[in-house]
Amino acid sequence: MKKILLITTLLISTLAASAQKNTSQSYIQKFKDDAIRIMHETGIPASIVLGVAMHESGCGNSTIAQNLNNQFGVKGGGSVVFIKHNKKVRSAYKKYDSVFESFQDFARIMTERKQFSHLADVLTHYDYAGWAHGIQRNGYASSRKWAAQVLGIIKKYDLNDLDENPSEQPKELAEAKQ
């Protein structure tokens, strides 16, 4: 009986671990083109856009990501109401019509807010580590481990490959540049 229980527990934990990985991989596949597009428009590395979004939203699984399309925990826009478990929930987080709109707002924050806007002047879209440390240093997150956590996601999933590979560029953007 103990063997069956042990095997069942191991099987469930293995499935849970692989489901998490699939969630990360599916998130990357679903939104990598949006992150690359933001990179080409703003100079912010696609790996940073995607890595920060994955970290802040739990790969799109957080309550605000699922109900408000808010991938970065951006506050503002007044009080937003959404339904969770048949109850109305008031939130101070910003609601977006799409995940891409959330990515655009993150890029706007990074390029227009005084505390971050200088990063685009001193860093290239290849310097994802510089971006992560610069964003943390300038007050984006209070955790001292934030940059290391984002960099861990970028390295684990090779997101920096998106920064260097122009063939991954969305079709409409490539055609617009010609």
d(CA 128, CA 164): 11
Specify the pTM.
0.78
Domain assignments of the chain as residue spans, ordered by start: 27-177
What is the phi/psi pair of residue 81, to 5°?
Answer: -115, 135
Assigned CATH for 27-177: 1.10.530.10
Residue 76: which of 96, 53, 47 has the closest Cα?
A: 96
pLDDT in tens for each of the 178 residues of the chain? 666 655 655 555 555 554 444 589 999 999 999 999 999 999 999 999 999 999 999 999 999 999 999 999 999 877 777 777 888 888 889 999 999 999 999 999 999 999 999 999 999 999 999 999 999 999 999 899 999 999 999 999 999 999 975 544 444 444 444 4
Per-residue pLDDT, 9: 57
Coil, helix or strand for 84? Answer: strand
Structure tokens at 93: 């987080």
